[in-house]
Amino acid sequence: MKIVHIASEVFPYMKTGGLADVVGALSSTQADSGHEVSVIIPGYRLAMSHPDALQSERRLRLKIEMGEKFISGDVRVFSPKRNLSIYLICRDEFFDRRNPYGNGERDYEDNAERFIFFAKSAVEAIRLLDLQPDIVHSHDWQASLAPIFLRFSERRYGLTLAIKTILTIHNIAYQGLFPSAVFELTNLPRELNSVDGLEYYGQVNLLKGGILFADQVTTVSPRYAKEIQTTEFGFGLDGVVLSRSEGIIGLINGVDTQVWNPKTDTLIPARFSSNDLKGKATCRTALLRVAGFNPQFTGPLYGIVCRLVEQKGMDLLLENEEFFLKQNCRLVILGSGDQKIEARIRELQNQAPDKVFLNPKLDEAMSHLIEAGSDFFVMPSLFEPCGLNQMYSQIYGTVPIVSRVGGLVDTVIDIDEYATRGTGITHEPNAESLRAALKRSLVLFADKATYQEVQKRGMQTDFSWKKATLGYEKLYSDAL
Ligand code: ADP
């Protein structure tokens, strides 16, 4: 099959979260299975400075109609491996910035223009480079207008550009919601600026357009597929999701075991497996050292890696600061994003610098060290479409403590509910239930034999992309 992915992030060229890991692993596995795969991403500064991208060549000069104006851009391409091409949509004014979406306090003012330009350019690249995909697979709001632009481009030029379009929602909380005037930039027929189109309570909602117009809509776990059809988790789009009569499919993400594998990981100081955990102890010592703690510490070491946004439940964690201040434990947090959340964690660190450590950066190597070196991984998300870190933790023998939402429900088995199968500790998404879960972790940690059993069960679970790739293959062939 010829497959084109359109996404704002792909690992290792641009990553702020799970989207990058998923598009990276999915496209790479599909290429390995013999499909001809292209991935179209914005030419962000970071992506452009990757050694692979430095070898890229310019393929096209684009002129994109944006409202009354025409805006130009370049399409560059490189191929990191057989069957895989990465196309970069370049326009320095839009993408040559330090961060992809905003400055940490606020989103960029011109995000609508940037990503409408991106989606239109992706479609123009498909047309002008004659890629002839069977499937165009768009991801999240930044690419969600591609299915509509494809259909209108087909109509305008009398061509078939893609046989089927798929939209995957990685997080319905991010919708690309903009003032109504932005509609002009789409150059779509005016009747699409209505309830049956992109209009959403007097604004323009890009994700809504994708949900309505893609041939098939999917999301990243079965549980989340159900949740986003409810007012509690649908962020106002539950009705739109429900309007898709054939339903929405939930396919759980896999883990890229080339990148996340304790037996081969070169980003950590020692390698290990479920049969030999000595290397994990080395990683634990290294992590304690990096955090400035006593490397001999023997109590439970809790780790967190996440974007600092409300979704990740740092409020629930901070409401449990007593636990971390009073218990004989250590807490290491790697997270960047919202500066207010960062400041509150920093306050906790200031209260107990010998127990709490925050690294407020994006740091790929440290994220691996935390997964490898912690005893528990804490993920008290308020909602979680799939979540990857809870799977990484299990693979690295770090017992996850997660809230019972979305993909976390599909990937962590509670040890008290299922004593012989349990792989982690689950709680309701509130502070009190998290407190109980943290206390349960102390009991588990004190019982070394049971702790090790839980640890090994997690390590032996198959989280690879094999299953997920087959799921997408079936989805594509069913769609075709
Ligand atoms: P989300 O997609 O909502 O951010 P996921 O759990 O699906 O959450 O994926 C998060 C990915 O981003 C993981 O690979 C995680 O390790 C990574 N990540 C998040 N924050 C950081 C950070 N500060 N430094 C390095 N990696 C991070």
By the 8 A CB rule, do 98 and 44 touch?
no
CATH of the domain at 80: 3.40.50.2000
Please give the Cα distance from 407 to 409 (Å, whole number): 5
The pick from 169, 389, 395 for probing ligand 1's pocket by mutation, whose C-beta has the most ligand atoms within 8 angstroms, reads 389
Domain of residue 182 covers 2-254+465-479
Residue 261 lies in a domain: no
Residue 273 lies in a domain: no
Please give the Cα distance from 99 to 83 (Å, whole number): 29
Residue 17 lies in a domain: yes
pLDDT band per the 50, 70, 90 thresholds, residue 111: very high
Q: pLDDT by residue (tens digit) across 344-374?
A: 999 999 999 999 999 999 999 999 999 999 9
Whether residues 198 and 282 share a domain: the answer is no
Q: pLDDT by residue (tens digit) across 385-444?
A: 999 999 999 999 999 999 999 999 999 999 999 999 999 999 999 999 999 999 999 999
In this predicted structure, the answer to whether residue 93 has a pLDDT above a threshold of 90 is yes
Whether residues 207 and 154 share a domain: the answer is yes
Q: What is the pLDDT of residue 247?
A: 83
Please give the Cα distance from 72 to 384 (Å, whole number): 38
Q: Cα torsion for 308, 325, 298, 459, to the nearest 10°?
A: -30
Whether residues 446 and 474 share a domain: the answer is no
Whether residues 129 and 246 share a domain: the answer is yes
Whether residues 59 and 40 share a domain: the answer is yes
What is the number of other CB atoms lying within 10 angstroms of the CB of residue 168?
Answer: 29
3-state helix, strand, coil in the chain (%, to 5): 40, 25, 35
Tell me how many domains the chain contains: 2
Q: Is 335 in the pocket of ligand 1 (CB under 6 A)?
A: yes
Whether residues 65 and 155 share a domain: the answer is yes
Please give the Cα distance from 384 to 382 (Å, whole number): 7
Atom of ligand 1 nearest to the CA of 388: 6
Residue 272 lies in a domain: no
Please give the Cα distance from 115 to 266 (Å, whole number): 35
Residue 130 lies in a domain: yes
In this predicted structure, the answer to whether residue 264 has a pLDDT above a threshold of 90 is yes
The residue contributing the CA closest to ligand 1 atom 2 is: 18
Whether residues 159 and 287 share a domain: the answer is no
Q: What's the mean pLDDT in 26-38?
A: 96
Whether residues 42 and 150 share a domain: the answer is yes
In this predicted structure, the answer to whether residue 104 has a pLDDT above a threshold of 80 is no
pTM for the whole structure = 0.93
Token pair belonging to 446: 């004190």
Please give the Cα distance from 357 to 19 (Å, whole number): 27
Atom of ligand 1 nearest to the CA of 384: 3
The mean pLDDT value of the chain amounts to: 96
3-class SS letters over 15-72: CCCHHHHHHHHHHHHHHHCCCEEEEEEECCHHHHCCHHHHCCEEEEEEEEEECCEEEE
Written as one letter, the residue type at 364 is E
Q: Where would I find the beta strands (DSSP E) of 83-227?
A: 84-90, 135-139, 164-169, 177-179, 199-200, 203-205, 216-219
Whether residues 69 and 153 share a domain: the answer is yes
Whether residues 140 and 249 share a domain: the answer is yes
Whether residues 244 and 302 share a domain: the answer is no
Residue 260 lies in a domain: no
Q: What is the pLDDT of residue 79?
A: 98
Residue 270 lies in a domain: no
Whether residues 225 and 324 share a domain: the answer is no
Residue 388 lies in a domain: yes
The pick from 305, 332, 390 for probing ligand 1's pocket by mutation, whose C-beta has the most ligand atoms within 8 angstroms, reads 305
